[in-house]
Amino acid sequence: MPTKISGVEVLYLEKPLKERFWMANAPIGGYQPKASRLIARLHTDAGITGEGEGSGGPDLFRKGFADLIIGEDPFMVGRIWEKMFGATYGREPSTRGWSREGIISAMAPIDAALYDIMAKSVGLPLFKFLGGYRDSVPVYVTGGYYREGKGIAELVQEIRGYIDQGFNAIKLKVGGISGGYTVDDDYQRVAAVRKAVGPAVRIMLDANNGWDVETTIRASNKMYDLDITWLEEPLRWYDDFDPFRQVKLNTRIPIASGESEITRWGARRLMETGAIDFMQFDANAHGGITEWRKIAGMASMCHIRMAPHHEPALHAHLLASIPNGYILESFANPDRDPFWFELYDRKPRIEKSILYLDDTPGLGVTFNPSALQRYGTRIV
């Protein structure tokens, strides 16, 4: 049984995307689009290595962030989490050049790697180590981006491709007012997809903070007849808490939000509005498994279901360990999310909109060495 973290490796992976996949206000991966990933490997004195993924950048690890966990007992995950989080209100941001949000992002792959070590040490898959509730979770696929030079016909063709792959739940982008798309334009896009897929397929809409309150209410009521499972993050970034109450009072489509929150305190404030039906906190991006589990417990007491943002390899285990887990996000287009298709030699199986977990200890993924070499740069 490991008692000490003896070494840390961090890889930063980056791959250019072939095109811009536009959300309401920005393309995925920036105007020069790219996919990126952090992988943290924690070595222990017992020879067990834990691996965790994150979506942050490499800067903090170049500035010594990994020093915080060398010599720590990997089973003391609560202590390590608080030690890392404590840097956000300590002197480190000033003396070591660590940004507060950068710390929160860097915590995610470290925290995941710690859980990978603990679950591997006792020979259990992570979802069972956490207290398993089920061994499979429903999955939806995100697509329907605004794509340059492509209109409704191409959108419908794209979505039909996902249905042919076996998916029965789809998320589309709306809210692109800044890109010249009116509410009527978005309605026509969503209506065409609903007509193409029929009534049995769930449709979610993601506005990516594209609308103000008035537009959110108008758009939501206009699209209600299309049988929408949820409307995600409709309100602009500068006022996306309390106005949800006004939206909830004047609309009927359930609301999803929380992927932009970086701590449980922000998630609490969002849930306290009483307007959120689905919490989307992202353990891959902010705070890790430890923080996600605390938020899931808070959400259960508020009768809110968890539907985390991105990264099915990690979030599948988390959803499978709680009773209020609803659905998992995934991607089915290798041009949009190449790492899901290239990064792993072993990963969970998705079939007919269900992700299946097995008894492989830990997170249950194995990285492809050639992909790591092709896209990765060792940071520490």
- List Cβ neighbours of 168 (8 Å cut-off, separation of 6 or more): 200, 201, 202, 352, 353
pLDDT 10s digits, 96-111? 999 999 999 999 999 9
| Cβ-based neighbour number of residue 199 at 10 Å | 7
The amino acid at 113 = A
CATH of domain 129-364: 3.20.20.120
| pLDDT (0 to 100) of residue 41 | 98
Mean pLDDT of the chain: 97
At residue 311 the predicted structure's pLDDT band, cuts being 50, 70 and 90, is: very high
Cβ–Cβ under 8 Å, residues 362 and 120: yes
At residue 380 the predicted structure's pLDDT band, cuts being 50, 70 and 90, is: very high
| pLDDT (0 to 100) of residue 168 | 98
| Mean pLDDT score, 178-204 | 97
pLDDT 10s digits, 350-369? 999 999 999 999 999 999 99
Q: Is the model more confident about 1 or about 221?
A: 221
| pLDDT (0 to 100) of residue 180 | 94
| pLDDT (0 to 100) of residue 60 | 96
pLDDT 10s digits, 331-357? 999 999 999 999 999 999 999 999 999
| Mean pLDDT score, 107-117 | 98
The SS3 call for residue 29 is coil
| Mean pLDDT score, 144-153 | 96
The SS3 call for residue 205 is strand
Give the separation between CA 152 and CA 154, rounded to whole angstroms. 5
| pLDDT (0 to 100) of residue 234 | 98
Architecture of domain 5-123+369-378: 2-Layer Sandwich (3.30)
Give the separation between CA 315 and CA 170, rounded to whole angstroms. 18
Give the separation between CA 101 and CA 117, rounded to whole angstroms. 25
Q: Which residue has the tokens 């999310």?
A: 337
| Mean pLDDT score, 226-250 | 96
| pLDDT (0 to 100) of residue 330 | 97
Cβ–Cβ under 8 Å, residues 177 and 211: yes
At residue 17 the predicted structure's pLDDT band, cuts being 50, 70 and 90, is: very high
Angle between helices 100-121 and 288-301 (to 10 degrees): 90
| pLDDT (0 to 100) of residue 210 | 97
At residue 238 the predicted structure's pLDDT band, cuts being 50, 70 and 90, is: very high
Cβ–Cβ under 8 Å, residues 339 and 35: yes
| pLDDT (0 to 100) of residue 209 | 97
% of the chain residues with pLDDT over 70:
100
| Mean pLDDT score, 128-152 | 97
| Mean pLDDT score, 199-213 | 98
- List Cβ neighbours of 343 (8 Å cut-off, separation of 6 or more): 13, 37, 367, 368, 371, 372
| pLDDT (0 to 100) of residue 332 | 96
At residue 229 the predicted structure's pLDDT band, cuts being 50, 70 and 90, is: very high
* Separation of CA 140 from chain center: 13
From start to end of the chain, where are the E strands? 5-16, 21-22, 34-44, 49-54, 136-142, 146-147, 169-173, 202-206, 228-232, 255-257, 278-279, 305-306, 328-330, 344-346, 349-351, 354-356, 366-367, 376-378
DSSP per-residue codes, 22-53: E-SSSBTT-SS-EEEEEEEEEEETTS-EEEEE
For CATH 3.20.20.120, list the domain ranges present in the chain: 129-364
At residue 33 the predicted structure's pLDDT band, cuts being 50, 70 and 90, is: very high
For CATH 3.30.390.10, list the domain ranges present in the chain: 5-123+369-378
Select from 138, 174, 139 the least CA-distant residue to 155: 174
Expressed in percent and rounded to 5, the helix, strand and coil fractions of the chain are 40, 20, 40
Cβ–Cβ under 8 Å, residues 189 and 172: yes
At residue 91 the predicted structure's pLDDT band, cuts being 50, 70 and 90, is: very high
Which class for 180: exposed (0-12), middle (13-18), buried (19 or more C-beta within 10 A)?
Answer: exposed
- List Cβ neighbours of 177 (8 Å cut-off, separation of 6 or more): 24, 210, 211, 215
At residue 320 the predicted structure's pLDDT band, cuts being 50, 70 and 90, is: very high
